């Protein structure tokens, strides 16, 4: 979140606290017979929401192709 999405530490911590509440909630627990305790799909969905919101400009235009935003090809 800090590097690729260029969030401030405050913004990244706020987003982390929000998604952590969803990911580690009682509703997201797996059944005892399944491996792991929480569903990974919830993390994936929450991260997709954050990325989608971050790549949309305030004017509604996508910034995916903005060289200054996305960085050079191959940059992480």
Does the predicted model carry a pTM greater than 0.85?
no
> What is the per-residue pLDDT for 20?
82
Distance CA 30, CA 34 (A): 6
- Residue 55 is predicted with a pLDDT of 77
- C-alpha 36 chain-centroid distance: 21
Place of tokens 């009682």: 26
Specify the 3-state DSSP secondary structure of 25: coil
pLDDT at 65: 52
Supply 11's token pair.
């913004």
pLDDT, residue 72, reads: 47
- Quote the CA–CA distance of 8 and 2 in Å, as a whole number: 6
**Tens-digit pLDDT profile for residues 19-74:** 888 888 777 777 677 667 777 888 888 888 888 888 775 555 555 555 555 444 44
Residue with tokens 């690729």: 4
């Amino acid at each position: 979140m800090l590097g690729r999405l260029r969030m401030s530490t405050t913004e990244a911590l706020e987003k982390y606290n929000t998604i952590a509440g969803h990911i580690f909630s009682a509703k997201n627990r797996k059944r005892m017979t399944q491996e792991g305790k929480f569903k990974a799909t919830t993390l994936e969905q929450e991260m997709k929401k954050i990325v989608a919101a971050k790549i949309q400009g305030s004017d509604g235009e996508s910034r995916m192709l903005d060289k200054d935003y996305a960085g050079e090809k191959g940059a992480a």
